[in-house]
Structures are given as structure tokens and as C-alpha cells.
Amino acid sequence: MHGLEWVVEAYRCQAGALADKTRVCRLLNRMITDLDLHPVGEPVWHQFPGAGGITGLCLLAESHWACHTYPEHGSLTLNLFCCRPRPDWDFETYLAEYFGAEQVSIRKLERHYGDRS
């Protein structure tokens, strides 16, 4: 088995966009479509009070998607783990479009399971 995990951080985002659950849902839905992901249930969301951030979790047949927004810091963190290969995704473009991100850091971790000899 071969898995991929992306750890993504977006900086200098628009605070209002980071507090907008609709935008975070759009991001999840876009990734589901583009990467052919398969949710095993409805996503779970929590929005902190006031203009607070959003935490979202979606369990996938492939593993999971998790996102946390921090309007007070202008940042967003995202984790996507897939237990089967996926193509790279254009995180920079979509995070800039949906949240105004000016800088995006992407770490892609390849996970190998089983006999590696």
C-alpha cells in the first residue's frame, strides 16, 4: 500500500473569508470532486463564537480531510491523508481564490506500508 499525506498551511489570508463556513465547505467539495475522494459520512463542523475560526473534519474511504482556520492570525491549516495514490492538487490557486492566501506552504509525505525490502 502506498499513501500520500498533504500538510498545508496558508498565510496572510482574509480574516472574513476564514470565518465563512460556506467557503470552507466549497474548498472541501472542490477537493472531493477534483481528487475523486469518497466521504463515508457528512463532514463535522465547529465554528468558534463571534468571528472565530472553523474546524472541519471529513472521514474518507481513503482516510481523512481536516481543516482549521484562524481569522485572528490570517491563517488556515489543512491535512489530507489518502491511502492510495492521488495526483498533486493546486492548493496555492484555490487557497488564494477562496481565502486570499498570499503564501502557501505544502508538505507532501509519502507513506509506504508493508514490506519495503
Please, which residues have CB within 8 angstroms of residue 68's CB and are 6 or more apart in sequence? 53, 54, 55, 56, 76, 77, 78
Question: How is residue 66 annotated by DSSP?
Answer: E
Q: Which of 13, 25, 38, 68 is catalytic?
A: 68
- DSSP state at residue 32: H
**Is 75 considered catalytic here?**
no
Residue 79: strand, helix, or coil: strand
68 assigned to active site: yes
Catalytic entry in 2, 25, 58, 63: 63
**Structure-block grid coordinates of residue 87:** 495526483
Active-site residue identified among 25, 38, 73, 83: 83
Please give the positions annotated as active site.
Answer: 63, 68, 83
